[in-house]
Amino acid sequence: MLSFADPLPARPRRVLVAGVTGSGKTTLAGRIAAVTGGPHTEIDAVHWGPGWTPRPEFLDEVRALADSPAWTTEWQYTAARPLLADRADLLVWLDLPFYRVTMPALIRRTLRRRLRREALWHGNVEPPLRRVLTDPEHILRWAFATRHHYAERVPELTRTHQHLTIVRLRGRREVERWLAGPLTRACRLGAG
C-alpha cells in the first residue's frame, strides 16, 4: 500500500476512490478525473432511481463502465465493488479521521442538502432530518455504522487483487500533496 508521497508505478486509467460515506469520495474522484483526463462517473447517479429506488440496470451499467478504457468512480455497493476492482488499476483510499473530519463534513452536507432541498440523482432529495432518529439507513446513521468497513475491505484487496495499486490518504493535506505530486507526475510522464 502506497502513501501520499510514493510514486505511482504507472499512469492510472481506471481509478476507484474508497472511503466512508461523507469522506469526500465523489469530490476527489472528480478531481482525479480532471488530472487523468478520463471521465468521472458518479456511482450514486448510476445506482439510484426516482424515489430512492435502485435502478434495475445498475449492474449492467457498472459492467459497461468497468469494461471501458478509462474512468474514475467511487468504490461503493456490494454487488459493484468486485466488478470495478477486477478492472481498476488504482484504488485511492480516503482514510480520514472519522470524528474530526468525516462526520462533521457529512453533517454539514446533509443539512445543506436538506435545508436547500437540493435535487440529487433523478430528483431525489435528502429525507427530513427527523428520520435520523427512526431510519437505520439514514445517511448519518449509515456512516457511523459502516465507519470501520473500509479498514477491513481495502487491506483484503492487497491479497485478492494484486494488480491493483492502492494509495492510502489519511488527511486533507495528504490528498492535496498526492494530487499535486505523484498523480500529476504519473499523468504527465506516463509512468511513476
**pLDDT attached to residue 151:** 93
**pLDDT attached to residue 53:** 95
CB atoms within 10 A of CB 55: 16
Nearest residue to 58 (alpha-carbon basis) of 19, 123, 92, 66: 66
**pLDDT attached to residue 127:** 87
- Name the helix (H) or strand (E) containing 49: strand 48-49
Which one-letter DSSP state was computed for residue 22? T
**pTM score:** 0.92
Which one-letter DSSP state was computed for residue 6? S
14-189: CATH class: alpha beta
| Residues of the chain where predicted confidence (pLDDT) is lower than 70 | 190-192
Domain boundaries defined on the chain = 14-189
Three-state SS letters, 143-174: HHHCCCHHHHHHHHHHHHCCCCEEEEECCHHH
